[in-house]
Amino acid sequence: MHTVRTIADVRSMVRLWRGQGERIAFVPTMGNLHAGHIHLVNQARRRADRVVVSIFVNPMQFGANEDFASYPRTLSEDSIKLAENGAHLLFVPEAGELYPRGVAGATRVEVPGISDILCGASRPGHFTGVATVVNTLFNIVQPDMAVFGEKDYQQLLVIRRMVADLCLPVTVVGVPTVREADGLAMSSRNSYLTAEERARAPQVYQVLCQVRGRIQDGEADYAAIEAGAEQALIAAGFRPDYVSVRRAEDLMPASVADQTLVILAAARLGKTRLIDNLPIELKNRQQNPIISV
């Protein structure tokens, strides 16, 4: 595996591979890699001849009071994992390489609407930071495809919409969430949890499963189900930002007529903000859904 720090070095490597007719898959990350990231790399390898991974803790997607400074940076361990798992090129830019005029002076990519709801409401500007850096990285790497985890479901939809609206020639591949044995979605931020919080953290997944069960059983008062789920998280010591049943295609609030849904949750536990989601398909929904009163 080659490790490079400049745009010019990425371009010359990719040019060489393209000249050989090879297909390129890209996995953008912020490092502190876990089994979920490695699964993305393996999925990328199955689909392309060459796999490019980036590690860049993107300052533009962090709010002023968020964890940019403390975000875990584990480059040596990450490099070993990537090399062992068959990545071909690791791009580790400095901030000045991607933002030559600084973050404040950088041109931005804004994906309106979908960036402002759910996590975007709790983290204003976050998805503009994500869309901007992913667009820049796409322009540098020029991959045939890019692989993202469905754990960050809203991020995945923001990127899909950006790619569609800007006519970017990149196929976006979403990969199902990798979970710990107890159901907790893998995340770099899980390393912030204390032992006691780590034991409680899977309750986010358990609450999502309960919501899915109630909807599959025919309950259709989504507002009541969401409120109950938030109460369950509060009772378990979380500070929920939201639990929400949405249309999977665009994250608009779901009605009983919608069949392809996603249940999303974001909740704080101590200083850690956890997010998770579960897809739900209601093809065989019963004719008379239960409406709670």
Binding residues vs ligand PAF (CB under 6 A):
28-30, 58, 61, 130, 133-134, 152, 155
CA distances from 151 to 11, 122, 173, 274, 282 (A): 30, 17, 13, 10, 21
Smallest gap from Cβ 73 to ligand PAF, in A, equals 13
Q: 27 Cβ partners below 8 Å, 6+ apart?
A: 37, 40, 41, 44, 51, 52, 53, 54, 87, 146, 147
Nearer to ligand PAF, 134 or 266 (CB): 134
The minimum distance between CB 287 and ligand PAF, in angstroms, equals: 40
> Dihedral angle at the C-alpha atoms of 182, 186, 190, 191, nearest 10 degrees?
110
Report the nearest approach of ligand PAF to the CB of residue 256 (Å).
32
Mode of pairing for the β-strands spanning 89-91 and 145-149: unpaired
Task: Write down the catalytic residue from 37, 39, 88, 126.
Answer: 37
Let me know if 88 is a catalytic residue: no
Q: Smaller CB distance to ligand PAF: residue 85 or 155?
A: 155
Question: What b-and-e string marks burial along 261-293, b requiring 16 or more CB atoms within 10 Å of the CB?
Answer: bbbbbbbebeebbbbbbbebebeebeeeeeeee
Q: In the complex with ligand PAF, which residue's Cβ is closer, 275 or 282?
A: 275
Minimum CB distance to ligand PAF, residue 61 (Å): 6
For ligand PAF, the closer of residues 132 and 244 by Cβ is: 132
For the annotated catalytic residues, the residue numbers are: 37
